[in-house]
Structures are given as structure tokens and as C-alpha cells.
Structure 1
Amino acid sequence: MGASGTGIRPPLFERLAATAEDRGSADFDRQALADSVRGELLRLLNTRRGSRPLTTPASVLDYGIADWSALQAERSADRRQLSREIRDAILRFEPRLQPGEIELLSIEGQRQRLRVRLNGVLRGGERCWPVSFLIEDGADGFEVRHERLD
């Protein structure tokens, strides 16, 4: 998992799923934290919920983002809507990532496909690092890649 002494604890599910060898290292390092957040973004952005939140405050029933398949990448209103969906989902369900700028880019010649650059701050314990994730519409939903900014 990573170097001990960083103060960054893996989420409970990852600790439970860890192998015996991984359990010997209690803390995440920065890369393991970014990989963990990337995995959560994959699950979060590839999960569809209803068009409106179901509960107040948000619960596990609200996990994911609304269906975006009918949105047009060329329409600014649709890009803003998807950007809000992504930001809201991250704020509700991924506290280790503070989203900053979310830039939605259309792919020339492919009106339904988008590329998203999500800049923000990765938080682990008392430490923070700038981070960027590249999110692309793939064959099976969104694909997420992490880019270090150091």
C-alpha cells in the first residue's frame, strides 16, 4: 500500500480487501492515495442515478451521476450540467478530493464524446497536493487517469 508514517489511512473497504502482505503497511503514500481516489472516481462517474437526488441529505441511493448519454458536447448548457453533476457527486461521495476547475472539452467530429480535465486538491490526513485527473468517455463508460502536478 505505501510507506508507513504518512498519516493517510486507506478507506475501510480497501483495508478489508487488502492482502495479508498489504495489511502490514497501515498508511497510504501519495501515489496510493491518488490511485484509490482514481478508482473511486471510476465507480462514481460510471454509476447512474435518477435525474434528481432521492434523499436529503444525500445517501447511498444518490450515488453516481445522472444519465448524461443524451447530452451534446457542443452545447454549453449540457457541458455545464455535466460539470455540475461531476462536482456534486465528488463533493458528496469523495471527501479526499476537493474539486477545482472542471473543464469539459468536445472531441472534434464526435458530438457525443467528451474529455474532462478535473483539477483539484488531493487531501490525505493533514496534507494536500494539487492533482489533475483526465476523464474520457470510453467504450464502457468513463475512463480515469491520474496526472501528478509536482
Structure 2
Amino acid sequence: MADTGILAPLFERLASSEHDGAPVFDRQALLDSVHTELSRLFNTRRGPKTLTRPPSVIDYGIADWSALQQQRSDDRRRLSRDIREAIDRFEPRLRLGEVQVNPLPEHPQRLSIRLLGELRSGQRHWPVAFVIEPGDEGLEVRHERLD
């Protein structure tokens, strides 16, 4: 990425050819790239504890939270903390402000996650919200522009 100091995700760097160089993102491309990376991150399970210090690619993903109880505020806080740590480590282009974990009204045993924050590219920042909810093939991520 030009002049940002923040590298594209590993998957995108590996997919680009040597001739392409590092991908350069405009606002929409950055939003799409972060969206894709969040989908990968939320649909990848890691073990209950980090395996390396500092955490490395071996620790990529979110710990399995299927056994957490949506009614318990401690479980929701633990999931929120795990999500924040994973995003801080593996998606630095998204600066999180708030992580909201709430039960889905129509499915009380399922959770909806809403991430509020800013997309970052160099000195430019854009407000954004991402919503993560169960879908037909795993967790689905959608984004909401806040401008």
C-alpha cells in the first residue's frame, strides 16, 4: 500500500504477482479488503489459548465460542475481548472503537456482533461498522458506511 505504513493482509500479498507489487487501496478497495479479511478471521477457529508469544499466524482466528451462553454478560465480554485482540493482531487497518455482542432477537441462542471503528490508510480515517451474524455457510460479514 502506498505511503500508509500498513501492509496488505498476507493472503493478498501472496495472491499478487511480483509485477503487481503491493496492492494500493482506495477507500472502497480498502473497505472490501478489510471485509474479506474479517470474514476469514471470523470463520477461522483457533485453540482456546494463544500458542506463541507474541501471537503469530499460528494463533490466527477466533477461539471457539459455540459453548458460550448469550444470556451471560461474562461470556459476551469474554467474546468481545477475544474479538478485539484478534482484530488488533491480524487486521490493523481497522481501529476498533466498540465491539457490541448481542443475542439475535429471532434466535435467542445466536449472537450478533457489531464492530464500530475507523478504517485507516496512512493519515486518512473513515468511520465504519461491520456486522457479523450466522449465515448459511458460517459467519457472514457485512459492512455499513457511517458517513
Runs of 5+ consecutive residues of structure 1 not aligned to the other structure: 1-5
TM-score, normalised by the number of residues in structure 2: 0.85
Deviation at 1:15, TM superposition (A): 5.2
- What is the alpha-carbon distance in structure 2 between the residues aligned to residue 97 and residue 128 of structure 1? 9
Deviation at 1:18, TM superposition (A): 5.1
- What is the alpha-carbon distance in structure 1 between the residues aligned to residue 70 and residue 85 of structure 2? 19
Q: Give SS of 2:48's match.
A: coil
Question: Does the C-alpha gap of structure 1 residues 75 and 12 become closer, same or farther in structure 2, counting only changes over 3 Å?
Answer: closer
Question: Does the C-alpha gap of structure 1 residues 67 and 132 become closer, same or farther in structure 2, counting only changes over 3 Å?
Answer: same
Alpha-carbon contact 2:94-2:119 (below 8 Å) kept: yes
Q: How is 1:44-83 mapped onto 2 (pairs within 5 angstroms)?
A: 44-83=41-80
- Pick one of 12, 23, 27 that aligns with 1:14: 12
- What is the alpha-carbon distance in structure 2 between the residues aligned to residue 18 and residue 61 of structure 1? 22
Deviation at 1:14, TM superposition (A): 2.6
Q: Give SS of 1:100's match.
A: strand
- Pick one of 83, 88, 93 that aligns with 1:91: 88
Q: Give SS of 1:144's match.
A: strand
Question: Does the C-alpha gap of structure 1 residues 12 and 116 become closer, same or farther in structure 2, counting only changes over 3 Å?
Answer: closer
Residue 126 of structure 1: aligned partner: 123
- What is the alpha-carbon distance in structure 2 between the residues aligned to residue 106 and residue 12 of structure 1? 32
Question: Does the C-alpha gap of structure 1 residues 64 and 15 become closer, same or farther in structure 2, counting only changes over 3 Å?
Answer: closer
Q: How is 1:30-41 mapped onto 2 (pairs within 5 angstroms)?
A: 30-41=27-38
Identity of aligned residues (%): 62
Are 2:100 and 1:116 equivalent residues in the alignment? no
Deviation at 1:17, TM superposition (A): 3.1
What amino acid is the match of 1:97? L
Alpha-carbon contact 2:9-2:37 (below 8 Å) kept: no
- What is the alpha-carbon distance in structure 2 between the residues aligned to residue 34 and residue 116 of structure 1? 18
TM-score, normalised by the number of residues in structure 1: 0.84
Alpha-carbon contact 1:72-1:111 (below 8 Å) kept: no
Q: Give SS of 2:109's match.
A: strand
Runs of 5+ consecutive residues of structure 2 not aligned to the other structure: none
Give CA deviations for 1:7-45 in whole Å, capped at 9, x if unaligned.
5675464355359xxx59x52110110110010000111
Alpha-carbon contact 1:117-1:135 (below 8 Å) kept: yes
Give CA deviations for 1:64-118 in whole Å, capped at 9, x if unaligned.
0110111111211111111111101000111101111111111125232111110
